Amino acid sequence: MAVSTRARVTRAAVAAVALAVAVGAEASVGRALSEGGRQRLVAEQTTGYDRTDPLVASRSVQRPVLIADVPQRKVLNGLPARLAPDGAGVDVGYADAPVVLTLFEDFRCSSTRDFERRQGAELAALAARHQVLVRYVMESSLDQRLPGPGAVLATNAARAALSRGAFPLFHALLFANQPDEWVNGFTVPRLLAIAGTVPHLRGPAFDTEVRTVWYRSWVDAAQTAYNDAHVRFGTPSMLVDGNEVDLGAQHELLSDPKALGAFVAQAAARKATAEQY
């Protein structure tokens, strides 16, 4: 009888231990599933995939990267920007500038990136000195030939930045952080990360406008303005007071800040002379 009692006690103890192990295992599995869910959510957040945006179809992984800055940040922060008279471009600088320099650009274009990295600081300085009004027309046709909607998303985000007085700096930062044009690198998370380096730009309204492509009609209008201009050199292309510049003959304007400054000064002098007669 004593032996039987001890056996029952032993079996009960073993059962209790087994139950505890089972419960602990179930809890561990639950924690693992929960953690896995969080990890999947983080993975989705870092891919650029956004459930609310029909344009964003890429799930390519975006690894964390540092956001490059621009040396002309302070100058750009002080420059005014507004919609151009036609509503499709963006004017950066002062209305009393003697020269209007129109630039046709694509945020995805590597040639435009090179131009902005080499001449962006000079353009900002000229605009700050009231010597030139820079009119940006942002087209996005590279999206039609390359994977993903990066140019459209970047142009939409730039328009959202314009509504908050932050276009000049955000525009420069987009080119400073342009991914390879052959990949869909301007994803929603990437654009928001870049915007996070612009003072007072990020917020619920801005983020929503970026995620939902709020300014898609403006993006289309800018594309139409580019198409209607029929420029010969694609992006970047340049007009001075409405006349296209032959960048094939004056290719130094794409890379030499001194040449660009002298070119703007000469254009202003010619205009002043013409106005005297």
Count CB-CB contacts under 10 A for residue 121.
18
pLDDT of residue 60: 43
Closest CA to 172 of 217, 227, 134, 216: 134
5 and 85 in a common domain: no
Q: Does residue 59 sit within a domain?
A: no
37 and 99 in a common domain: no
Q: Does residue 52 sit within a domain?
A: no
Token pair recorded at residue 236? 């970047």
Q: Does residue 54 sit within a domain?
A: no
- Distance CA(166)–CA(188), nearest Å, equals 18
**Beta bridge partner(s), residue 148:** none
Domain that holds residue 1: 1-47
At 140-183, the pLDDT tens digits run 999 999 999 999 999 999 999 999 999 999 999 999 999 998 88
126 and 28 in a common domain: no
Q: Any idea what the Cα angle at residue 21 is, between residues 15 and 25, rounded to 5°?
A: 145
240 and 153 in a common domain: yes
40 and 141 in a common domain: no
Closest CA to 190 of 201, 200, 179, 181: 179
202 and 103 in a common domain: yes
Q: Where are the alpha helices (DSSP H) in 48-89?
A: 73-77
The string of DSSP letters for 24-40 reads HHHHHHHHHHHHHHHHH
Token pair recorded at residue 217? 């009609």
235 and 107 in a common domain: yes
5 and 84 in a common domain: no
The total number of structural domains in the chain stands at 2
Handedness of CA 259, 261, 262, 267 (dihedral sign): positive
User: Phi and psi for 148 in degrees, rounded to 5?
Assistant: 85, 165
Band of pLDDT at residue 274, cut at 50, 70 and 90: confident
Q: Cβ distance 152 to 138 under 8 Å? A: no
pTM of the model: 0.77
Q: Does residue 67 sit within a domain?
A: no
At 199-252, the pLDDT tens digits run 999 999 999 999 999 999 999 999 999 999 999 999 999 999 999 999 999 999
Token pair recorded at residue 181? 């044009």
Band of pLDDT at residue 13, cut at 50, 70 and 90: very low
Is residue 203 classed exposed, middle or buried when 0-12, 13-18 and 19+ CB atoms within 10 A define those classes? exposed
Q: Does residue 58 sit within a domain?
A: no
- Distance CA(19)–CA(82), nearest Å, equals 70
- Distance CA(210)–CA(103), nearest Å, equals 24
CATH number reported for the structural domain that contains residue 238 in this entry:
3.40.30.10
Q: Does residue 68 sit within a domain?
A: no
81 and 22 in a common domain: no
- Distance CA(145)–CA(105), nearest Å, equals 16
250 and 121 in a common domain: yes
pLDDT of residue 65: 63
- Distance CA(116)–CA(130), nearest Å, equals 19
* 3-class secondary structure, 10: helix
Segment 69-98 shows an average pLDDT of 97
123 and 38 in a common domain: no
Closest CA to 171 of 208, 218, 135, 213: 135
- Distance CA(238)–CA(105), nearest Å, equals 9
Q: Does residue 39 sit within a domain?
A: yes
92 and 24 in a common domain: no
Q: Cβ distance 151 to 108 under 8 Å? A: yes
